Structure formats: structure tokens, C-alpha cells
Chain A
Amino acid sequence: MSNTLFDKVWDAHVIRKIEGGPDVLFIDRHLVHEVTSPVAFLGLKSRGIKVLYPDRTFATADHNTPTINQHLPVADPLSANQLDALETNSNEYGISYWGLGHQKNGIVHVIGPEYGITQPGATIVCGDSHTSTHGAFGAIAFGIGTSEVEMVLATQCIMQPKPKKMRITLNGKLGRGVVPKDAALFIISQLSTSGATGYFVEYAGEVFENMSMEGRMTVCNMSIEMGARGGMIAPDETTIDYVKGREFTPKGAAWDKALAYYKTLKSDADAVFDKEFTFDGSKIEPMITYGTNPGMGMGISHDIPDAGDVEGGAATYEKSLNYMGFHEGDHMLGKKVDYVFVGSCTNGRIEDFRAFTSLVKGKHKADGVTVWLVPGSHIVESQIREEGLLDILTEAGFTLRQPGCSACLAMNDDKVPAGKYAVSTSNRNFEGRQGPGARTMLASPLVAAAAAVTGKVTDPRELIEELV
């Protein structure tokens, strides 16, 4: 029988199937953070039970943490309380906790892969929808709610109906100035914000085969933004090179065994998907969003479409453009930018900072633009220093903050003020996402860099001489 990559990993983790109900799925790795876990731990307490497999559970603090002065006590008492709760719970239940100040602290979806917690063929969950990131390694990884966090803590299992399968093939090569984030925003603009709801996506084709692990993580990360529970890419040499030798990856004989397993992880040639899409990667432009969901994106040189040309109701569309202060037919190029945010589990990795730095090198931050550069982890932060990027950034008038989720969801102090425009490398442009009244335009690190040095929406291809 021919199977998809998704079938192979899913079926290998099903403990039992319930008639007329979900599958009971065993979870290999459970990542925990401070926002969606406290009520789950309370649930364990009230039931009087322990964490079944503490060694399969990893906790970090990221959503609430400040990105400056991390050595000082957290000023917001509510945030501090939530961080304390995670530390206390982790200690009580024997879970490794990488809190603020810990060398391994960082965004949960950045550090998981960095330390080899994320492995091909594994099932991974976290109380965060961008858990889909880890699918880049050929893992089944998806976000869960707090009741499910409690469920996994208590039983290492989750009850889920098996999703349908979709394959998205991107052929050809990405053009100059076009990076993985553009591929993701392009796909979502084609499928809409709900086009993959009910599906698990496999990304295939030349574009993904040639993509780095960082790029694959960016694409899989954004799967949820078209409604998919997750996205995955078959592991190959690029994957194996990345995984090998990391702290939590198998070693010695166990590695040889793991490697043999990783090599089975691909869709069979005649595997059938419930839905397939194929696009030409060479046609993708640098992308930007103009509305209030990630499906409202387009090539940066285009004009904002008329309501009649987009899917969905006119009233919803009008509400969205009103919020953004935009109009049908507006050019996006040249629009004023007040804030630039580079970071998040989508684009907070070293490759993103390399791209940003390559464009701003020898230029200077535009007056009147506030730029937040937030690495996804301490490892990324160290790489930025060691590779000399920080010197270039400093010379160009930028400063580097400390790791955390930061302005992606603005739970800490990194909030874009009401009415201000932000070009953001994060994942969501929902109303108020980056602060009450904030107006977000999602884009790649290169588009962010172009905005940072010009103070307006700018096509990065105009500013780069060499191929990126």
C-alpha cells in the first residue's frame, strides 16, 4: 500500500482508533511555555496526577519575556507571575525548564530544532499554533489548546481525528530578492486564510528541495495561517546535516538506527493526496500583506485589489482596509512605515538576520523608523555577533535586542502604537496583534530591511545589487 509521509508518521504513533471518534496518538515531544500551561498544571493538581513522561517534556519562557534588560526582574507583575508559575510547575513535575536568563532560553520553536529536540518522524505538540514549524524536519507537529496540554502532560497522548492530506508543490527557482517567507505568503495568498483547514500539508518540489532548514521552518511555520494544522517536508541530506550531533539527537548506534528510519520518511511515488496544488516558484515576487489576515497578501509591486476581486464578503473586506487605513487600488510601494520588526518563530533565525544585514550593509537606518531586531534564541544572538553581523548592523544605526516572541504578539512591552504602520517578519497581521490599533504588514526580512533604510514600503530588488 502506498502512503504519504504524513500517513507513515501518523500511523506509527496511533495507539488505538476509536469508532466514530478520534485516533489516540502518542506524542514523542511536548514543548511547554508560560502562557498556555498554567491552567493545564492546575488540572493535574486537581486530578492529583503527575506528568507521565517528564523526560519527553521541555519548558521554556518566551511569550511574555522582555527583550531588553533580561538580567533585571520582570517589571510587569502579571508576566512575572506567569513566568514564576512555569518555573514552579516545572520544578514540581521534574520537567527541564529553560527560563529567562538560562543559556538555552529562547522562542520554543527556535530552540527545539537548535538542541535536536525536534527530530524527523517524531510527533511534537505545544500549546502554540506555530508548532507547525517543526514539520520542516519531517515531523508531525501541531498546536494544541490548554485542555490538550493537560492531556499530554497526563498521558503523553492526544485524541485527534486524522486530518486530510494536501500536497503543495512549488517548482522552479525563487527569483532574486525572493526568500522562503515570500513563498509562504504567496501560497497563503493563493489558498486564503482558511484554504487548508482540515488538512495537513506536505510541501514538495524543487523550491523546497533547495531550501535551507531555516527556510523550511519559515514555510512550515506559516502553514497554520492558511488553516492547516501543520505542514511537513520530507527529510533529506539537508535535514540530516542539520540534525546530526545536536544535544538531544541520537548518538552512536542509536544514530545509525535513526538514520535508517529517517530515510524511509517520504511519500511513496503513487501516494494519493486529498488535494494537490502546484505553483511556479519563479513567478513569485517579494510579498507584502495589505489587510488583516495573512491571506491578504500580494506581490509588492501590485496595487490593493478591489473587493470584487477577492474571496469573501465585501463588508469584511471593507472593515479590514478601514482598519489598515488603505483603499482599493492603492499602491503598496511608497507607503509610510513607522516600525520594523525582525524576529519571531517565523523569521528569528540566523539566516533571517543574514538577509536583513546583507541589505542594510553600507546604508543607514531611516529617520523616524523604530526598528526592533529580536533574535529567536541565544544561539542566534551569538551567531549574529560571531559572524560580524552585529558590527555591520551597529554601523548602519541598528541595535540588537534579547531573545523572545516580542512584537509578534506584543504580550511584553514591544507594542506598536495605535495607528502606526509596521513591516513585520512575524506571522499574523490580525487587528491589534502587535498592539491595540497597530497596523501590520507582513513581509520577508529583505522587505523589512528595505523599509528600515527607506522608511517606506520598498521593493528590496531595487536595493540589492547581488543575487540573494
Chain B
Amino acid sequence: MAYDKFNILTSTAVPLPIENVDTDQIIPARFLKAIERVGFGDNLFRDWRYNSDNTPKKDFVLNNPTYSGKILVGGKNFGSGSSREHAAWAVYDYGFRCVVSSFFADIFKNNCLNIGVLPVQVSPGFLEKMFTAIIGDPKTEIEVNLPEQTITILPTGEKESFDISSYKKDNLTNGFDDIDYLLNIKSDIKEFAASLPL
């Protein structure tokens, strides 16, 4: 599915300093029943965000008007568990375009890249600096520069580089997806399939 191109993102950020945030927290299974990709942002972190009577939980960060922005900063091992792309959709649909953590689960990371959400893996030390800066001043702006592959805490100028494959970087900056690539090599695929021994 086509998505907006990603280049340089400058935004305030929302801190979620919890480790092992799994995809059942990001979007509980009972909200996976849609047959179209709409409205998932409403249920992002549903059970951390709302009480059972649907009133907002005041102590959860998404209900705290002090914090906002297009960058979500999470603790180590973000997105573990289920392969549900609905988790990445919920993150995107809520309005985040970038998730920062010191470690990501594989499938969640792939899912993000496939829908135009940039997962940025930073060192544990830099993640701590980000939490300190954002919680100290929620107006702290963060710059995520995809072409340069850097992330900067703007008020302090602290900066770190991050990794991304040149192929995925190219896709994100141009808004391409893998299917566009694969459809172009369909004859190679058919030839390969015909050559399989079994």
C-alpha cells in the first residue's frame, strides 16, 4: 500500500519508558476484526489507555495533554509478540510516523517499514537521554533525518546515527513498497518456480 514519503521529521515526542511492549498491548486481539484498514488509532494501547467503562486512564501518557507529537519513544524490545500488522497500523493511524527504541522485535520492525513508519534503533544510553529530555521538557523537539540517518535532540544538540538498509531507505524516501519491486521481476519468479525440484 502506498504511503507518504519520509524525509526529515521534526517533532515533539511521546515517552513510553516501558520494556517489552508487546503487540497485544499496542492493539488487543479483540480489535482485529475489521476487514479494512480504518480506525485502528482509536484502539492504540486500548487497555492501557481506557478503563473497562471506556473512560480514559488519566495516568497513561496518551491521555496526558502535556505530551504530543509524531514520534513515539518506547523502552527496550518494543513490538514483541504477534505478527499483527494492525499494531503498526494503529501506531500510524494515531499519528506517529516514527518509533524510537533501543531494541525492536523483528516482525514489528518489518511491518513498520512496510507501511511507512520509521523504526529508529538507538543505543540504550541515547534512549535514556531522550527520555530525560522529553520528560524534563515535553516541548523538546527531536529531529529524525532519514537521508543522513541521524536522530538529534534539538535543544541539546545530542545526536546519534542509526542503521537502515539502503534498499528500505530508498523505499521510504520515495514512498515505494516491496510489491512494486517484486511485480517488476515476475518473469524471474515464474522461471524460478518452474525450476524447483519438488
Q: Quick one: given A24-B185, A128-B83, A145-B85, are A198 and B167 in contact (CB under 8 Å)? A: no
Considering the complex, give the chain B residue whose CB is closest to the CB of A41. B35
Say yes or no: B83 contacts A411, CB within 8 Å: no
- Which of chain B's residues 55-112 have a Cβ closer than 8 Å to chain A? 75-77, 80-86, 88, 103-107, 110-111
Interface size class of B (residues with CB under 8 A): 35 or more
* Chain B 2-16 per-residue mask, 1 if CB under 8 angstroms from chain A, else 0: 000000000000000
Considering the complex, give the chain B residue whose CB is closest to the CB of A436. B47
Say yes or no: B52 contacts A193, CB within 8 Å: no
A159 CB within 8 Å of chain B? yes
Which of B1, B33, B76, B177 has the most chain A CB atoms inside 10 A of its CB? Answer: B33
- SS class, residues of chain A in contact with chain B: loop
* Chain A 379-420 per-residue mask, 1 if CB under 8 angstroms from chain B, else 0: 000000000000000000000000000000111000000100
A91 CB within 8 Å of chain B? no
Bound CA span A312–B177, Å? 36
Bound CA span A79–B32, Å? 9
Residues of B within 8 A of A145 (CB): 83-85, 88, 107, 110-111, 114
Bound CA span A144–B105, Å? 12
Q: How far is the CB of A38 from chain B (nearest CB, A)?
A: 4
Considering the complex, give the chain A residue whose CB is closest to the CB of B182. A155
A347 CB within 8 Å of chain B? no
Q: Quick one: given A129-B83, A261-B198, are A79 and B24 in contact (CB under 8 Å)? A: no
* Interface residue from A148, A150, A155, A293 paired with B186 (Cβ < 8 Å): A155
Residues of A within 8 A of B115 (CB): 147
Residues of A in contact (CB 8 Å), total: 80
B139 CB within 8 Å of chain A? no
Say yes or no: B80 contacts A411, CB within 8 Å: no
Say yes or no: A81 contacts B33, CB within 8 Å: yes
Bound CA span A109–B47, Å? 28
Q: How far is the CB of B154 from chain A (nearest CB, A)?
A: 27
Residues of B within 8 A of A4 (CB): none
Say yes or no: B167 contacts A49, CB within 8 Å: no
Considering the complex, give the chain A residue whose CB is closest to the CB of B186. A155
* Interface residue from A36, A121, A319 paired with B18 (Cβ < 8 Å): A319
Residues of B within 8 A of A49 (CB): 183
Q: Quick one: given A293-B20, A316-B20, are A410 and B30 in contact (CB under 8 Å)? A: yes
Say yes or no: A437 contacts B166, CB within 8 Å: no
A26 CB within 8 Å of chain B? yes
- Which of chain A's residues 93-143 have a Cβ closer than 8 Å to chain B? 119, 121, 127-129, 131, 143
> Which of A209-217, A250-258, A362-370 is near enough to bind chain B?
A250-258
* Chain B 164-195 per-residue mask, 1 if CB under 8 angstroms from chain A, else 0: 01111000000001110111011011001100
Q: Quick one: given A194-B80, A436-B47, are A16 and B35 in contact (CB under 8 Å)? A: no
Q: Quick one: given A144-B107, A254-B198, are A430 and B81 in contact (CB under 8 Å)? A: yes
* Interface residue from B36, B107, B165, B179 paired with A20 (Cβ < 8 Å): B165
Say yes or no: A428 contacts B193, CB within 8 Å: no
Considering the complex, give the chain A residue whose CB is closest to the CB of B2. A46
Which of B106, B110, B165, B167 has the most chain A CB atoms inside 10 A of its CB? Answer: B106
Q: Quick one: given A16-B188, A147-B177, A257-B198, are A436 and B52 in contact (CB under 8 Å)? A: yes
- Which of chain A's residues 258-298 have a Cβ closer than 8 Å to chain B? 258, 261, 293
Residues of B within 8 A of A312 (CB): 19-20, 76
Q: Quick one: given A197-B105, A430-B24, A430-B25, are A26 and B193 in contact (CB under 8 Å)? A: yes
Residues of B within 8 A of A411 (CB): 29-30, 32-33
A229 CB within 8 Å of chain B? yes
Residues of A within 8 A of B29 (CB): 63, 409-411, 433
Bound CA span A156–B187, Å? 12
Q: Quick one: given A21-B165, A81-B35, A312-B20, are A194 and B198 in contact (CB under 8 Å)? A: no
Residues of B within 8 A of A63 (CB): 29, 32
Bound CA span A293–B22, Å? 9
- Which of chain A's residues 62-101 have a Cβ closer than 8 Å to chain B? 63-64, 76, 78-79, 81-82, 85
Residues of B within 8 A of A131 (CB): 83
Residues of B within 8 A of A154 (CB): 179, 182-183
Say yes or no: B83 contacts A36, CB within 8 Å: yes
Considering the complex, give the chain B residue whose CB is closest to the CB of A409. B29
Say yes or no: B106 contacts A147, CB within 8 Å: no
Bound CA span A431–B165, Å? 33
Say yes or no: A197 contacts B189, CB within 8 Å: no
- Which of chain B's residues 98-156 have a Cβ closer than 8 Å to chain A? 103-107, 110-111, 114-115
Residues of B within 8 A of A227 (CB): 77, 80, 105-106
Say yes or no: B178 contacts A129, CB within 8 Å: no
Q: Quick one: given A194-B76, A261-B197, are A143 and B107 in contact (CB under 8 Å)? A: yes
Say yes or no: A39 contacts B36, CB within 8 Å: yes
Bound CA span A368–B192, Å? 58
A333 CB within 8 Å of chain B? no
Residues of B within 8 A of A313 (CB): 19, 75
Q: Quick one: given A21-B168, A194-B20, are A144 and B183 in contact (CB under 8 Å)? A: no
* Interface residue from B17, B37, B107, B186 paired with A39 (Cβ < 8 Å): B37
Say yes or no: B198 contacts A432, CB within 8 Å: no
* Interface residue from A19, A28, A293 paired with B80 (Cβ < 8 Å): A293
Q: How far is the CB of B101 from chain A (nearest CB, A)?
A: 11
Bound CA span A150–B179, Å? 8
Residues of A within 8 A of B20 (CB): 193-194, 293, 312, 316
Q: Which B residues have a C-beta under 8 Å from some C-beta of A?
A: 1, 17-20, 22, 24-25, 28-30, 32-37, 47, 52, 75-77, 80-86, 88, 103-107, 110-111, 114-115, 165-168, 177-179, 181-183, 185-186, 188-189, 192-193, 196-198
Q: Known A-B contacts: A22-B165, A147-B177, A433-B24. Give 15 more (CB < 8 A).
A: A20-B165, A35-B33, A42-B35, A43-B1, A53-B193, A131-B83, A144-B83, A147-B115, A155-B183, A155-B186, A250-B198, A257-B197, A258-B198, A411-B30, A436-B52
